[in-house]
Amino acid sequence: MQEFLQALRERYGDISIGGIFSRNKNIFGEDFNNEPQKNFGGVEILQKKLPDTYGDISTTRIFSRQKNIFGKDFKNEYQKDFYQVEKSAPKNLAVIENSKTEENKISLINIANTKDWIKLRANAADLHDLKNFFAGKTDSQSPLFLNILEQYQKFVTRNLATPADIDEESASDFVSKLADTIKNWFYKILDSTRRGILGQGSEPVKYYEEINLRVEKYFARIGLKAEEVKPRDNFQQWQEYMTAVEKPTPFQHMHNLISEIIIPPHYFEYYDEDGQPAKSYIEGKCTVFKLRRA
């Protein structure tokens, strides 16, 4: 949110209530400068008094009523992103907070014997929380999701069959195979839930939010963490871990900034063959602004 507001300030100047008022009396009518400001005096008092006369004067409401404040391109280029950030922040924060407790219980993956391998594989194949959510549902989506989970379980069992020998490279082999399986199957669910949360699915938004929450809990339980990539991050710092879908922009200062995180990069932490902490990544996906001149 802060990065987005900073981008607005750099392009449009003061976007505070007072700044907008001083530049755009047309928001509240021709008599704004003469009557309300004279009577109320001071921005703090204005913010308290004006809603009684003019209704919601929050930044988002002003944006939705007065795109001309920021130019005709604002609605297409900025408002969509602003709304998505504002809408998703509380939910994402809740997911992060819920996951922290689980994550704190996870130590780096270490496989010292066959028993460790079998235990980790059983944990990865335990999808009871997700499968219970879909059980008995006859909507258009649940049977599809349930089938993906069942296929994923089969691949976990097959791809993570216990090796004949356990050695110093076993932890690396395990997380590499599990990461590939998650990308091939679980990422299909993540992509569908993302679109559903944005209102592009056939089921209610709450349905997809619940799935997303359960997926995050499952990832936390098996030690899979998401990198904290944010909109407006420079893509160059993440290009090793994410693929990009280009999104044209006419603004130079937006070039190569991340517009939307489709799926963040995820990683397992484990002990490598030298007994040192290492990470195994699952590549994420995002949209990135690319400069296009008219």
Phi-psi region of 248 (alpha: psi -120 to 50; beta: other; left: phi over 0): beta
Q: Residue 134: what pLDDT?
A: 93
- Can you give the pLDDT at residue 11? 59
Tell me, yes or no, whether 213 lies in a domain: yes
Alpha-carbon distance of 114 to 204, in angstroms, equals 44
What lies within 8 Å, CB to CB, of 142 at 6+ separation is 134
Please check whether residue 94 lies inside any domain of the structure.
no
CA distance 84 to 98: 21
Mark whether 33 and 164 lie in a shared domain.
Answer: no
Instruction: Please report the pLDDT score of residue 90 as a whole number.
Output: 35
Is 127 found in the same domain as 197? yes
Tokens at residue 99, please? 């996951």
Report the C-alpha gap between 233 and 241 in whole angstroms: 13
Neighbours of 99 (CB within 10 A): 18
17 & 59 share domain: yes
pLDDT by 10-residue block (mean), the chain, 294 residues: 58 59 45 42 47 50 42 43 38 36 62 95 95 92 94 93 92 95 92 91 94 95 93 90 92 92 94 93 93 76
The predicted structure's pLDDT at residue 27: 40
Tell whether 153 and 245 lie within a shared domain.
yes
Listed in sequence order, the DSSP H helices in the chain are 2-12, 17-23, 36-40, 43-54, 59-65, 74, 80-104, 114-125, 128-134, 142-159, 170-197, 205-222
The pLDDT value given to residue 205: 95
- Annotate 115-171 with DSSP letters as a single string: HHHHHHHHHHH--HHHHHHHTT--SSSHHHHHHHHHHHHHHHHHHTPPPS---TTHH
> Does 69 share its domain with 124?
no
Report the Cα 3 to chain-centroid distance in Å: 15
- Three-class secondary structure of residue 270 per DSSP: strand
Cα 5 to Cα 11, 98, 252, distances in angstroms: 10, 27, 17
**Are residues 195 and 117 part of one domain?**
yes
Same domain, 50 and 152: no
Based on the fold, state whether residues 66 and 130 are members of the same structural domain: no
- Looking at the fold, whether 154 and 279 belong to one and the same domain comes out as yes
Structural domain boundaries enclosing 21 = 2-75
Locate 232 and state its tokens: 């407006």
What is the per-residue pLDDT for 51? 53
pLDDT for residue 38: 41
**What is the per-residue pLDDT for 6?**
59
Task: Using only the alpha carbons of the chain, give its radius of gyration.
Answer: 24
- Residue 239 has a pLDDT of 87
pLDDT at 32: 42
Q: Does residue 89 lie in a domain region? A: no
Does a structural domain hold residue 95?
no
Please name every residue paired with 84 in a beta bridge, in sequence order, or none if there are none.
none
